Amino acid sequence: MEAAMTAEGLNMSQAKLQKRITELKEEVAREQSLRASLEESHNTLLTRVREMESLVETERTGVCS
């Protein structure tokens, strides 16, 4: 009887740990997706800034000439 209760307790603990592992894996997946999205957004913004810098430099060169 005692062994059965201990086994049941271990099974419950294992189930809780498995649930927590699943939750953590889902969280990691969300974090990875968010990071990829932020990196893409950052790169897009950086490209726009570089384009604007180039445009400003072109305009500056035109004004100085």
* Rounded CA separation 17/63 (Å): 68
Residue 48 lies in a domain: yes
Percent of the residues in the chain that have a pLDDT greater than 90, as a whole number: 72
Number of domains observed in the structure of the chain: 1
Q: What's the domain range around 39?
A: 26-65
Residue 9 lies in a domain: no
Residue 49 lies in a domain: yes
**What's the Cα-to-Cα distance from 43 to each of 16, 21, 27, 36, 38, rounded to whole Å?**
40, 33, 24, 11, 9
Per-residue pLDDT, averaged over 8-14, amounts to 88
Residue 4 lies in a domain: no
Band of residue 30 on the pLDDT scale cut at 50, 70, 90:
very high
Residue 41 lies in a domain: yes
Residue 61 lies in a domain: yes
The predicted pLDDT at position 2 comes to: 75
Among 29, 25, 47, which Cα is nearest to 37's?
Answer: 29
